[in-house]
Amino acid sequence: MKKLGPLGMLIVASLLAAPSIHAQESKPVAGWREFKDVAGTYWAKAQIDKAAADGYVSGFSDGTFRPERKVSRAEFFRMLVDALKLPHVAKGSPWYQPYVAVMVEFNFHNASDFKEYTENLSRLEMIRLAARAVHLDFQSVGVTEQEFVVWAAESGLIYGSSIDGDLELDGSVTRAEAIVVIQRVLTLIKGKVLDVNPEAVKAAKQM
């Protein structure tokens, strides 16, 4: 298993520090525990509640969370940066510029990967960003797509279909899925172990 480098240790320290080392741009709306569209049986309710309580995501003014809404690359950047409590300037133009800057600074994102930040985030792009956030090794040039995906499956970052392990790498990411993956990133950074789907591992190795 790859080990955390200095960056990982910094992130762990920031996660344990209180208060946050930067001012949060967004805050959960009042009554976030009662999002209208996240019922008690919703598959990601626990993760959504935790993310809202931690302040790195929020609902909408109508009391909904819209968990099935697609996430843009910029929105995922903001979620990840705020969840990891990475320092950044409060404002920029466009609004996501500070998040892009810090993602590049910490080597979570290479500007050559993509430049259209308002487009929907794909599962493969999410895996790549998450892997770089967890391990320094994945920030090196030359890491293949399969290496990213195999690690994601073997670590439990992605679970795939419970039937055949289908990873749907070209598919878009929803708000709920993004939060679940970010919660798993936080778990891995802390050195904890996630459940693994052997079918997902098999599918990743057959890419």
User: Would you list the domain boundaries of the chain?
Assistant: 6-205
At residue 174, the 3 state secondary structure works out as strand
* pLDDT at residue 192, rounded to an integer: 96
* pLDDT at residue 26, rounded to an integer: 40
pTM for the model stands at: 0.83
State the DSSP code for 119.
Answer: S
* pLDDT at residue 40, rounded to an integer: 84
* pLDDT at residue 24, rounded to an integer: 34
Residue 201's alpha-carbon distances to 61, 136, 150, 198, in angstroms, are 40, 22, 6, 5
* pLDDT at residue 18, rounded to an integer: 31
Neighbouring C-beta atoms of residue 120, cutoff 10 Å:
16
* pLDDT at residue 111, rounded to an integer: 87
CA angle 55, 9, 2 (to 5 degrees): 110
Residue 7's alpha-carbon distances to 12, 31, 76, 139, 162, in angstroms, are 9, 35, 20, 11, 33
* pLDDT at residue 144, rounded to an integer: 95
Q: Which two tokens stand for residue 21?
A: 């080392």
* pLDDT at residue 172, rounded to an integer: 96
Residues of the chain with pLDDT under 50: 1-32
